[in-house]
Structure 1
């Protein structure tokens, strides 16, 4: 059964008027509600550039694909909501069977609470006394609310316990804490089993905390899909399994321990190494988040369900695109377009030129080859091509593929969802609000 959310609060997003603050939308739409705009079945041609869009059919396919894959491989899914920070998309993930929503900090947790998300994993340590007191108040006010946080050192546990014990009584609901296991040259997380066990013992001894499992992030261990990288990932995941096994006597009797890993790059390895723990009473939880949009770059290449699949199941579909307009051709072999770092992701690869939109009514989009984006400035992109007859002219509108959803969504407060990114003039079927 999936964690619940406030469906009325999510639905109410469609009744909010749009304004000049929504850079994706034209002035003609300002002052109208999302519901009113969508009733007219607007077209992509009515929207300005630069623009980020999502593919409705593509996201539906991706939601169903990973939900089915998790079920078939005996693992749960708590998708990382920080990828989209879009409660409407969280709702879709929960409706598709997600066990929880994962977030990264207390601000994001506040967004989840505003939309009634009942079960949240904060994949981080929370040590701010202000935030810990707020979480304690939320747990006290809503018996159905569940939250899990992480800790990777005894001092972290001591900080959490000190802040909570000064604020709540002995009969307060405990805060569930997972021991975070890391790896050499990785990010956070205990670097050895001895430290992890000490953290677990500190949690178990803290009056206002409860030991709830083990977690970690294998994406910081490897950055490619070669066999050597996959072996590093498997070894790291085995260390999580080993720590969990050694904590058997420390888990409270009323706790189903959570063992969690799995970004969007190596989730098949997580199922392979950690999946068997489900038969021993653990809840094995993936936290993949980028899958809902997938991409035309990093995840297309590295995802287990990408262009070179490493597991069974349907391939994920790239479902986010940028739309840009040529504004200058200052020299041979170069065109400048109207989108830059503030509009499109660039940390995991440059945008990929894909289609030239029709220049005249009745024409079809034209596939683009031989062009490349060489760099982005704040608000400009550099499109390179061989000298000679230019393949684009000033005024042309292009579709570009994008790499890395986590740094695409955060640049847009309202994102149009279209019915077919390959169509000559797609229909806008939804507008998704983000909260960054």
Structure 2
């Protein structure tokens, strides 16, 4: 595990070695204040999706900002175990837990903190019920509704009702409500299409709740993983919680959807080579920024475009407007396209204010895929 080389408080950010993941506190605090103040007044409350940053210190700042359900969401059991060890007491795992080994760990964790899991198939219910019965506990379960790509989930009508009824028939499980994952989107997704799909999903949630209540099934939780239209989701009739996480640090992918927020996380990189005019190479490649969903953006200087990343290097194209001239040894700022894949590459993030180091925070849940 990489550990931060000690830097006295107040050290200029430019003195950090590179590549480094850096969080600007002023921007982070602005984002937390903007989003959490909204949720303090909204009918639904926020459940921060902390898998986007994997940082317990940041998770606690989100919970302390108000407007939440006093709990977090993660994507893996391993992440849940880490955040529980760091004091988070209410955790939703927004993913399927299926294998026997994971179910034993899940039940052990449920003895320590309040755990809610999602399920979309009767076989999952049977496996969870047997594991919970063996350890004499009860598990809270959300029925997951499908996303448009149908990678998982139930239809909002008969399938969802049948799943809820199946949960009610298993004494070691408790039906908690329904959940919908975020609308799938990538670099090519048009904003209008994403917003249209998100609204369709919110309508499906409303229909599912009506179908369940018409069948005599009470619905305590209606949860939606809607980060794009979080304001509209929070005001949708019947929605009780919104799982959103990227708002805190804001990457290049989501920035166009949230003009009221500020990018708070960047990767500091150094120009290591100027092999020819119009070309620069830096030391922040795929292992430092991630490239799965899109290329990072240079934010510290205009006239520079990222054209590709190898494992250890970033390739930049410089046009005539790039002023001042880019030189070897110069440091630049990159805004990652997808912070979820970027933060997972670091053991810690530097926390700075107005260009000076204040502290570092461990990315303690990085690499917890299981």
Fold-level similarity (TM above 0.5): yes
**CA deviation string 1:51-93 (max 9, x = no partner):** 2200111111111111111122221111111111111011101
- Note closer, same or farther for the CA distance 1:221–1:407 as it changes in structure 2 (3 Å cut): closer
Cα distance in 1, alignment partners of residues 247 and 288 from structure 2: 21
Task: Please say if 1:115 is aligned against 2:81.
Answer: no
State the match for 2:2 in structure 1: 21
State the match for 2:356 in structure 1: 427
Task: Please say if 1:404 is aligned against 2:331.
Answer: no
State whether residues 204 and 250 of structure 1, in contact with CA within 8 Å, keep that contact through their aligned partners in structure 2: no
Cα distance in 2, alignment partners of residues 128 and 105 from structure 1: 13
Q: How does 1:190-269 map to 2 (within 5 A)?
A: 190-191=154-155, 193-220=157-184, 223-226=189-192, 228-248=193-213, 251=217, 257-269=220-232
- Provide the aligned length of Structure 1 versus Structure 2: 359
State the match for 2:144 in structure 1: 180
Deviation at 1:192, TM superposition (A): 5.1
- Note closer, same or farther for the CA distance 1:388–1:163 as it changes in structure 2 (3 Å cut): closer
Q: Which secondary structure state, in structure 2, belongs to the residue aligned with residue 42 of structure 1?
A: coil
Task: Please say if 1:378 is aligned against 2:311.
Answer: yes
Q: How does 1:332-351 map to 2 (within 5 A)?
A: 332-351=277-296
State the match for 1:168 in structure 2: 135
**Match for residue 134 of structure 1 among 71, 92, 105:** 105
Q: Which secondary structure state, in structure 2, belongs to the residue aligned with residue 287 of structure 1?
A: strand
State the match for 1:416 in structure 2: 350
State the match for 2:254 in structure 1: 299
Greater shift in the superposed pair: 202-211 or 262-271: 262-271
CA RMSD, Structure 1 to Structure 2 (Å): 2.2
**Match for residue 329 of structure 1 among 233, 255, 274:** 274
Cα distance in 2, alignment partners of residues 351 and 183 from structure 1: 27
State whether residues 142 and 175 of structure 2, in contact with CA within 8 Å, keep that contact through their aligned partners in structure 1: yes
- Greater share of strand: 2
State whether residues 234 and 241 of structure 2, in contact with CA within 8 Å, keep that contact through their aligned partners in structure 1: no
State whether residues 152 and 180 of structure 1, in contact with CA within 8 Å, keep that contact through their aligned partners in structure 2: yes
- Note closer, same or farther for the CA distance 1:388–1:415 as it changes in structure 2 (3 Å cut): closer
Task: Please say if 1:76 is aligned against 2:45.
Answer: yes
Q: How does 1:75-94 map to 2 (within 5 A)?
A: 75-94=44-63
Cα distance in 2, alignment partners of residues 177 and 151 from structure 1: 7
Deviation at 1:234, TM superposition (A): 1.5
Deviation at 1:238, TM superposition (A): 1.3
State the match for 2:238 in structure 1: 277
Task: Please say if 1:289 is aligned against 2:245.
Answer: yes
Q: Which secondary structure state, in structure 2, belongs to the residue aligned with residue 298 of structure 1?
A: coil
State the match for 2:75 in structure 1: 104
Cα distance in 1, alignment partners of residues 273 and 185 from structure 2: 42
Higher RCO by CA contacts (8 Å cutoff, separation 6 or greater): 2
Q: Unaligned 5+ residue runs, structure 1? A: 1-19, 30-36, 279-283, 308-314, 356-367, 421-425
- Note closer, same or farther for the CA distance 1:288–1:259 as it changes in structure 2 (3 Å cut): same
State the match for 2:26 in structure 1: 57
Cα distance in 2, alignment partners of residues 154 and 103 from structure 1: 22
- Note closer, same or farther for the CA distance 1:345–1:91 as it changes in structure 2 (3 Å cut): same
Q: Spell out structure 1 runs of 4+ moving beyond 6 A.
A: 387-390
Q: Which has the larger radius of gyration?
A: 1
Cα distance in 2, alignment partners of residues 230 and 397 from structure 1: 37
Q: Which secondary structure state, in structure 2, belongs to the residue aligned with residue 342 of structure 1?
A: helix
Cα distance in 2, alignment partners of residues 154 and 81 from structure 1: 28
State the match for 1:360 in structure 2: none
Q: How does 1:31-70 map to 2 (within 5 A)?
A: 37-38=7-8, 40-70=9-39
Q: How does 1:358-373 map to 2 (within 5 A)?
A: 368-373=301-306
State whether residues 147 and 183 of structure 2, in contact with CA within 8 Å, keep that contact through their aligned partners in structure 1: no
